[in-house]
């Protein structure tokens, strides 16, 4: 039977491929070891502790593999170690400023800094009421979403609209967000946010206030309504498309609103921190719960400076209806954008760990209104839980044609949101039906509205 000789080049190719795969496997193994050590050490020392330990493991393994080789060949097993060391070192070296850095000053409104009795120092914006037309005597306060994020230009334009309608509008960026000073990471809690709200109203010194809380700001407001000491400072409250108010609510599952633009909108342009190994690793492991928000891998200020609006691209798209996917407005500029991922995760964790708020919320007496967006990206049960438990909610306004960010500058959305808000504050008839009522919650959820 004839035999066929295998060409030498095929043998060499097979050997080269085999060695290359082994080298790649060695590199991958060392990277995994490094990541495991990052998690075990919580990123101590900017990750250099894990890097040195992984390098040591790789060096020992290379020495063991090369122990029986010729002098020249002994250095070959070190090649994967060098490659892995170079790749993992990029996770340990900051590329964003590590010192706190605040956004530049806004050209259309003065930024004040108020020191609150809680110890927080927050950035405050004031839009006085228009000099023409009726003026409303009760100050109006806005709590933006985030949880720890600067107020976007879209929000500022909406606040200006309310001021033109005669409202004395105040807004502040919660501690750690925007132009407000940072706190130690472990001090970012939902209870601190509620105390800051009460301290802000006291510092304002104009008696009780009307207040609009949007998204996570609505969570702060909901919890404030359940706190008699803070609720006593509130005149009327508007909860707009809130997140979960406590641990039991956070664990509810269910449907969201009508389809949003997530997955349909064009990719948001601009740099992304998640394309940089250091920040992709840090934010990814924090999001998975494998690193604590106060990890030693990156400092709070560095994380804030690294994070960009493009990193929140999918979240932005989820705040708009599917029909608006290709005309989502630019909500902010790079100069004004600010988001603190570590602080936000810490606040969210304290919400998830919080016991049921229902018993306290049922005792609330502050007149309130709930706003729900048609294309909301929030789980519906988050809003209906508030409606079910807060017996002082006088009306619910289901906002058609808008996503989670109900005032977004598109079409007449700002005017429609303002009309709903001002009607409630003035105890005037609602411009849209009161829906769902407390009794209609089962139908509302069953119909997947």
149 is written with which tokens?
A: 């994020």
Residue 48 predicted with pLDDT over 70? yes
Q: At residue 238, does pLDDT exceed 80?
A: yes
The whole-number pLDDT of residue 63 equals 82
Q: Are residues 279 and 405 in the same domain?
A: yes
pLDDT over 70 at 4, yes or no: no
The answer as to whether 107 is a domain residue is: no
Q: Do 53 and 173 have their domain in common?
A: no
Residue 24: pLDDT band with limits 50, 70, 90: confident
- Regarding beta strands 140-143 and 209-214, do their DSSP bridges make them parallel or antiparallel, or are they unpaired? parallel
Give yes or no: residues 197 and 52 share one domain: no
Question: Are 336 and 231 contained in the same domain?
Answer: yes
Give the pLDDT confidence score for residue 215 in this predicted structure.
97
pLDDT-derived band at 133 (thresholds 50, 70, 90) equals confident
Alpha helix stretches (DSSP H) within 66-130: 78-92
- Please give the Cα distance from 212 to 198 (Å, whole number): 14
Residue 3 in domain: no
Q: In what order do the strands lie in the sheet with 121-127?
A: 112-115, 121-127, 169-173, 140-143, 209-214, 234-240, 368-375, 393-403
pLDDT tens digits, 304-321: 999 999 998 889 999 999
Domain at 163, CATH number? 3.40.50.1820
What would the mean pLDDT of 84-107 be, rounded to a whole number? 93
Answer yes or no: are the C-beta atoms of 171 and 159 closer than 8 Å.
Answer: yes
Domain final residue pick, 92, 120, 143: 92
- Are 94 and 298 in contact by the 8 Å Cβ rule? The answer is yes
Is 309 within a domain?
yes
Q: Which of 36, 62, 92 is the last residue of a domain?
A: 92
Write out the residue range of the structural domain in which residue 68 sits: 8-92
316 lies in the same domain as 403: yes
> Is residue 6 predicted with pLDDT exceeding 70?
no
| 295 and 177, same domain (yes or no) | yes
Residue 141 in 3-state DSSP? Answer: strand
What is the mean pLDDT of the segment spanning 267-273?
89
pLDDT at 19 over 70: no
In a domain, 97, yes or no: no
State how many domains the chain has.
2
Q: What is the mean pLDDT of residues 291-302?
A: 94
Q: Are strands 121-127 and 112-115 parallel, antiparallel or unpaired?
A: antiparallel
Judgement on whether residues 61 and 171 belong to the same structural domain of the protein: no
Report residue 81's pLDDT band, with 50, 70 and 90 as the boundaries.
confident
Please tell me whether residues 198 and 63 are part of one structural domain.
no
Domain assignment present for 103: no
For residue 13, pLDDT beyond 70: no
262 and 388 co-located in one domain: yes
Query: Does a structural domain hold residue 98?
Result: no
For residue 214, pLDDT beyond 80: yes
Pair (65, 158) in one structural domain: no
Domain contains 105: no
* Residue 142 sits in the same domain as residue 289: yes
Place of tokens 């960010």: 405
155 with 223, same domain?
A: yes
Mean pLDDT for 365-377 is: 97
Listed residues 32, 60, 92: the one ending a domain: 92
Residue 403 domain-assigned?
yes
Give the CA count within 13 Å in the CB-facing half-sphere of 408.
Answer: 22
């Amino acid at each position: 039977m004839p035999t066929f000789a295998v060409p030498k080049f095929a043998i060499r190719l097979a050997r080269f491929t085999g060695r290359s795969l082994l080298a790649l496997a060695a590199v991958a193994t060392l990277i995994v070891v490094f990541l495991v050590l990052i998690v075990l050490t919580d990123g101590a020392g900017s990750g250099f502790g894990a890097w040195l330990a992984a390098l040591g493991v790789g060096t020992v393994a290379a020495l063991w593999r090369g122990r029986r080789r010729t002098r020249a060949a002994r250095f070959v097993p070190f090649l994967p170690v060098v490659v892995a060391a170079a790749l993992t070192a990029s996770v340990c070296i900051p590329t964003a400023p590590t010192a706190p850095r605040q956004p530049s000053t806004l050209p259309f409104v003065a930024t004040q800094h108020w020191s609150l009795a809680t110890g927080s120092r927050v950035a405050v914006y004031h839009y006085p009421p228009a000099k023409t037309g009726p003026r409303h005597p009760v100050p109006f306060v806005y709590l933006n979403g985030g949880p720890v994020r600067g107020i976007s230009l879209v929000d500022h334009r909406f606040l200006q609209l309310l001021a033109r309608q005669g409202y004395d509008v105040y807004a502040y960026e919660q501690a750690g967000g925007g132009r407000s000073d940072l706190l130690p990471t472990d001090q970012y809690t939902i209870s601190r946010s509620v105390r800051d709200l009460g301290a802000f109203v006291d510092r304002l010194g104009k008696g009780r206030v009307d207040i609009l809380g949007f998204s996570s700001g609505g969570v702060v407001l909901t919890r404030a309504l359940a706190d008699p000491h803070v609720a006593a400072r509130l005149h009327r409250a508007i909860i707009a498309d809130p997140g979960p108010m406590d641990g039991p609510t956070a664990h509810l599952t269910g449907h969201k609103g009508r389809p949003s633009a997530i997955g349909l909108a064009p990719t948001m342009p601009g740099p992304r921190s998640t394309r940089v190994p250091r920040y992709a690793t840090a934010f990814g492991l924090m999001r998975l719960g494998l690193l604590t928000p106060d990890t030693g891998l990156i400092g709070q200020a560095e994380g804030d400076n690294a994070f960009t609006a493009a990193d929140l691209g999918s979240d932005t798209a989820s705040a708009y209806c599917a029909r608006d996917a290709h005309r989502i407005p630019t909500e902010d500029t790079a100069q004004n954008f600010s988001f603190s991922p570590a602080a936000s995760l810490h606040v969210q964790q304290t919400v998830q760990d919080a016991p049921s708020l229902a018993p306290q919320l049922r005792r609330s007496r502050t007149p309130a209104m709930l706003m729900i967006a048609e294309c909301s990206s929030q789980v519906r049960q988050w809003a209906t839980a508030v409606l079910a438990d807060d017996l002082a909610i006088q009306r619910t306004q289901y906002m058609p044609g808008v996503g989670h960010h109900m005032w977004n500058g598109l079409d007449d959305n700002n005017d429609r949101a303002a009309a709903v808000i001002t009607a409630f504050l003035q105890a005037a008839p609602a411009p849209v039906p009161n829906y769902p009522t407390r009794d209609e919650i089962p139908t509302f959820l069953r119909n997947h509205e």
